[in-house]
Amino acid sequence: MAKVVYMGVPFLTQPHKTTITSSKPFKLSHRTHSTNISILSSTNNGSANRSVKPQKLNSDISPHRAVSAVRLMRIELGGAFADLLNEKGKGSGENEMGYVQRTLGFRTRELNNQDLRLVTEIVGGTIRWRRYLDHLISSLCHDKDISSMEPLLLQILRIGFYEIVKLDMPPYAVVDENVQLAKAALRPGAGNMVNGVLRKLVVLKENETLPLPKVEGDDRSQARALATLYSHPVWIVRRWTKYLGQEEAIKLMIWNNIEPSYSLRANRAKGFSRDDLVTELNALKVPHKLSLHLDDFVRIKTGLQIIIHAGLFKEGLCSVQDESAGLIVSIVDPQPGETIVDCCAAPGGKTLYMAAHLSGQGMVYAVDVNSGRLRILKETAKLHQVDGVVTTVHADLRTLTDGEPLKSNKVLLDAPCSGLGVLSKRADLRWNRKLEDMEQLKKLQDELLDAASTLVKPGGVLVYSTCSIDPEENDDRVAAFLERHADFHIDPVDRYVPPDFVTPKGFYSSNPVKHSLDGSFAARLVRTL
């Protein structure tokens, strides 16, 4: 779960456990701004005596394209997370335009609601389809190697290709506006290049002759073709084909490329039930469906901005949390009066949901190595009125257990993982993960499992979970743990989740395609008395 700030208010959403790195603004060379005019920036305090820095306004440039290009630059070069940027909304408009000013050298008009929707669609879609788009771009450029292309020029081309191929926008309007952006942000020659390449694309699309690879040849050749057609890294395609078969791998890639839906969890700790949430959603005219699996959850496909502006997150009445995470909490089965240790807790989605189950009696010890994310957790626990049953512990779990560790009857280890189950929501993650990461993650998961096991009292429960669908991070890690720890055994999860989520070994597993949820895994292990 990650913290997103909407209009200055912390709000929780549920990607996976990684460290958030904020991007720094950067500047580009070779810019010309012949159409820019100078305006004065406004100040927060409205003082007429304060000197202000002149800023350039280019009202001819489409604001959603300028913002999309800068966001894509921040994600690819600055390490920002796509889900955080896409979900910030109008409250960050001034800061957003500040990034545009510093990166492109000019401002556009402010984003309206339609612009915001387009930015979200274009940024998310362009990231998802990056490999596919880059294949088309390199096929139509004189220089087939686009790796040396200016970063901003490449982002403008990606935006134009995505709008034409995937959004079916009026093609010549797309060509004209992206040409204007390239000229204003870079130079006239860059605009001419964008014009030529996009016009080639329009002709090929109209004739249905896009230069796409065929799935043929040996396994490697087929994997490369599929990786391009469905825009995933080759190593992921080969891995999923190995474990799932080609047909299921294709279904999973198609799922990852669809605009995701979200689940909302009503905050029972504030006396706000799902019925109350449904009443609010009906009043706001936000389409929704009740969760089939959890009493506190509803699903939405659209209307998130409406909910934000209505203040439901600001008041701590609900949060965004995938049902797959809620089902893992069901496997922990927190009860009033219990003491639970959440070993890799921050930023705290499962921590808060477990705390809500305690009805003010008991304690969840939230352990994490990241002090900043623990601080967010602590703030949100107060907002959700569960701070009385949440204690944060800043520590590396592997060294925390060196002394006399805290012993508990229930321990949750929601381990850092590849996040291969949440690629529909974390579109950028597919490009940031590498095959060699898997070995490092498996080693870390083993170390954390060993450390977490020392916190479990005899007869107590250890729940190991991930947001991955990879068996090497899931079943294999549990099997290796049980070989090292004969005093633990599997407790089947069929008493806690619907049978459709129970594997033959008694583990929990959610499949994105089958269940329309994030992919996740959990094993419930009991320590011998």
Q: Which residues are catalytic?
A: 467
Q: What φ, ψ does residue 515 adopt, rounded to 5°?
A: -105, -10
- The dihedral through the CA atoms of 303, 120, 11, 426 has a sign that is positive
Between CA 341 and CA 350, with CA 347 as vertex, the angle to 5 degrees is 50
Which amino acid would we find at residue 282? N
User: What string of DSSP letters covers 184-240?
Assistant: HHT-HHHHHHHHHHHHHHHHHHHTT------S-SSHHHHHHHHHHHTT--HHHHHHH
Looking at the DSSP bridge assignments, the partners of residue 340 are 364, 410
Q: Could you list the residues known to form a binding site for S-adenosyl-L-methionine, using ranges.
A: 344-350, 368, 396, 414
> Beta strands 297-300 and 289-290: pairing type?
antiparallel
Q: What φ, ψ does residue 191 adopt, rounded to 5°?
A: -65, -40
Q: Could you list the residues known to form a binding site, using ranges.
A: 344-350, 368, 396, 414
Locate 197 and state its tokens: 């390449």
Closest by CA to 154, choosing from 186, 112, 115, is: 186
Locate 273 and state its tokens: 């039930």
Q: Compute CA distances 251 → 202, 220, 230, 259, 512, whole Å.
A: 28, 19, 10, 15, 10
In sequence order, which residues have a C-beta less than 8 Å from that of residue 39 and are 6 or more positions away?
54, 55, 56, 57, 107
Q: How far apart are CA 80 and CA 396, in angstroms?
A: 25
Q: How far apart are CA 212 and CA 203, in angstroms?
A: 15
Closest by CA to 157, choosing from 210, 121, 201, is: 201
Which amino acid would we find at residue 78? G
Q: How far apart are CA 253 and CA 360, in angstroms?
A: 43
Locate 338 and state its tokens: 């219990």
> Beta strands 488-490 and 390-394: pairing type?
unpaired
Locate 374 and state its tokens: 């623990």
Q: How far apart are CA 311 and CA 162, in angstroms?
A: 33
Q: Compute CA distances 467 → 27, 149, 282, 423, whole Å.
A: 36, 35, 31, 10
- The dihedral through the CA atoms of 451, 452, 458, 459 has a sign that is negative
- Tell me whether residue 453 is exposed, middle or buried, using C-beta atoms within 10 angstroms of its C-beta: 0 to 12, 13 to 18, 19 or more: buried
Locate 97 and state its tokens: 């335009």
At 70, is the secondary structure helix, strand, or coil? helix
Q: How far apart are CA 387 and CA 345, in angstroms?
A: 14
Locate 176 and state its tokens: 């004209």
